[in-house]
Every structure is written in C-alpha cells, then in structure tokens.
Amino acid sequence: MGILLSLTNDFYCLHRSYNLFENEDGSDVILMVGHNGYRERVPAHSWVLAASNQYFRTLFHGSFANSHKKIYDIPDDPKGFQNLLKWLYRCECEIQSMDSALITLQVAIQYLCPDLAEQCVEYIGKNLSVSNVLKVFQHTWRYCPSPQTSEESVITNAPSAPSAEIMDATQSDDDAIFGAENTQLVDVSQHTIHSMTQLKELSDEAEFQDPTACCSDLYNVCLEIIDRATQCVLASDSLEELDRNTLELILRRSTLNVSNELLLFRAVQRWSTAECKRRMLPLTTENRRDVLGNLLYYIRFLTMTNEQLQQTSSLLTADEFNYLATRISGHTPISVPAKLEPHLGTMAISRQHNPTGLLNAESQTKTKKKSSGKKKYTKKELMLDVVSCLAVIFD
C-alpha cells in the first residue's frame, strides 16, 4: 500500500507539472530566454525543473543557490529551450524540422538531459541526407571530438549551460535584467565551456548520464555519408556555411570518395570566397589565403597532374606552384617553400575510399537500429504505466 501511495503521489505531481507548462499559476521564477537583442519572458516553477533535471536541481538547491533570486538570464535559442521545458514539464517534445532538432539537441546536452538528446538524435538520424549532412556534422562532431583535428583547432566537449556562478552573478538586482544599458549582460550571458568531467560534478555522480553518448553513432553515420557521397556533399550549399574547424576535419580525411583533388580545391575556393564575404573583406587572393590558413595545404596537390595543378594557381604563390609543378614532373626542386614543408608527406598520398568498409558499417548501423527498435521508457513514462496498472488492479 505504501508503494501505491508513493506512486499515486508521483502521478499527481506529474499531472500537476503537465498543466503548469507555460502557466503563470504558482510560478516562482522567471526565465529570460534568448540573446542578441531578442529575449522571451518564460514563467517557470523551480520545483518542477529541479525534480526533472540535474542542472536545475544544482541551480536552485546547490551551493550557488539563491533563494531570493527570481529572475534568471538564459542565453539560449528560445525555441530550443522551450522544447527542453516542454520535455521537463510534460515528457513531450514534438520536433518537426531538422533545424529544430539540432537546436534542441544542443540545449538538451547543455542542460544535461540525455532522454531529450536521444529523441533529437533519433529524429535527425531518420531525416539525414546528402543535402543536410554537413549541417548535422558541424553540430555533432563537437560532442564526439575527432583525433584527426589539428593541434591548432580548439576541441572541447559539449558546452554546459551558463555556469551557476555566472548566472548567480548576472545581476544582484532582479530589475537589472531589464536594463537596456546593462553593458555587463553580454559578457555574463555567454556559455562557459566545461569538460564532461566538470559537468558530472554538477550532479549526483551515481545518477549522471552523459547526454552526448547518443551522438556517437550519428557522428559515424555522418562520416560514412561524407566519405561515400563526397562529390554531392561538396556541391551542397551547406559547404559554404561551415566553420573552419569542421571544414578542416573533412579535408584531412583520407577516405573521401573523389576522383581527383580538384574537387576539394574548388570546394575550398568556394568556402574562402564565402568566408571573405562574412568578414567583409575584398575578394583578393591574399585575403582568400589568409582566411584559409593551413586549410589550403590539406589539398593533396602532389597527387594531381600538371594540367590539374594549373587550375589551382589562383591560390598558390609562385614559389609554391613552381615547387609543386617541379615535383609532379619528376624533378627535385632546389628549395621547399616554408608553408608547404610540414604538409608534403600527406600531399603525396592519394585518398583511398573504402566502400566495402562503409557497407559493413552501414550493416552494423542497421543491425543496431533493429536491436534498439523497442520503445525506450523514460522514468516518467514508466511511472505512468505502473500507476495505471495498479489503478486497474485495485479498482
């Protein structure tokens, strides 16, 4: 009987939280959600959020908790954060677009919500295609750092939500959040970067679940598509929107399916033009080379023919072009241009696409999907089913 009363009480609390979503009734905190000049006021209930989520439990009841504080600045995308709140209140999240899924995945990881992250990854996996794989890859690799990334690229695990210390210090006066001239707001509202070990410290170690764990398979599927359909992927508009680190990861892959390196060179050329426009720089060779940096040297020029190399002269210096042309012709150049030297070993190795390996990987992925086809219950859903069964038994 005691167990039944406990479950009944939990069911009542869940029913209450369901009806309190986006409801002023009983709300004890206000969340100001958004950034870059656009924010939304969202009423919330600290007891619901704390009961449903490790981060909010720490925020409201941990060592940095301030019982007098009523207004919190949340510098996240309002749509993604709304999906998080809906999940925490109702255990529901209706994702209807790839953009919404990616935004919500980011928020779910930031706020340590693995169940919601799994829902997002499931939607993304079902809707992944050649046309959107670069956008998904750009979001996903950050949660699964790749050993291919260069030392100069800053690799971190998923960012946490704003640290409790920063959120607590955002304003000593609740009214300060509404101040249009609050110059400190921009600085304190930025996300802090934590390793997953630091994120673990925010919660009870026994209950901690890594919210990025579900991203590994998605990350690998993205790589498979990029390797298999490289030409189509490079032709997509999303290529020009990539950040530098994501493009580097792709250029350094040895398993890309390309007939020659000119395809990669033209992709790099397109990206450099788009990057110059973003930085509002004149479209000169010098500026294109400047925004590319070492990315240019991940093109494997020494696997080209002289005819193909001729088409790359627009981004190479005269010394670089002459050196490469001499090497391709089978002669030994007198001197090596300084920027080329660290990359010459890789430049001479042709990329080797491995379709057999990909088929095996795809087969394993399908097997995983079949084996994981059973419905995964969250704690709330399981509790609802148990309470329903007990209610029928004791009726």
**pLDDT mean over 215-222:** 92
Percent of the chain with pLDDT over 70: 69
Q: Of 205-209, 296-300, 391-395, where does the model show the most confidence?
A: 296-300
Q: How many CB atoms lie within 10 A of CB 137?
A: 24
**pLDDT mean over 132-149:** 79
Query: Residue 207: which pLDDT band, with cuts at 50, 70 and 90?
Result: low
pTM score: 0.73
Residue 373, pLDDT above cutoff 70: no
Residue 108: Cβ-neighbour burial (10 angstroms; 0-12, 13-18, 19+)? buried
pLDDT at 21: 78
Sign of dihedral through CA atoms 339, 343, 349, 350?
A: negative
Nearest to 109, CA basis, from 25, 216, 10? 216
CATH of 2-213, one of 3.10.129.10, 3.30.710.10, 3.30.70.2700, 1.10.287.110: 3.30.710.10
Q: What distance in Å separates the CA atoms of residue 79 and residue 278, rounded to the nearest whole number? A: 25
**pLDDT mean over 309-334:** 95
pLDDT at 305: 96
pLDDT at 392: 41
Q: What distance in Å separates the CA atoms of residue 81 and residue 85, rounded to the nearest whole number? A: 6
Q: Kindly report, residue by residue over 262-297, the tens digit of the pLDDT.
A: 999 999 999 999 999 999 999 999 999 999 999 999
Q: 21: which residues sit within 8 A by CB, 6+ positions away?
A: 85, 86, 89, 90
Residue 344, pLDDT above cutoff 70: yes
Q: How many CB atoms lie within 10 A of CB 86?
A: 17
Residue 199, pLDDT above cutoff 70: no
Nearest to 234, CA basis, from 335, 225, 320, 51? 225
Taking a C-beta distance cutoff of 8 angstroms, is the pair 297, 343 a contact?
A: yes
The structural domains of the chain, with segments of one domain joined by +, span: 2-213
Give the DSSP letter of residue 207.
Answer: T
pLDDT at 374: 43
Q: How many CB atoms lie within 10 A of CB 395?
A: 5
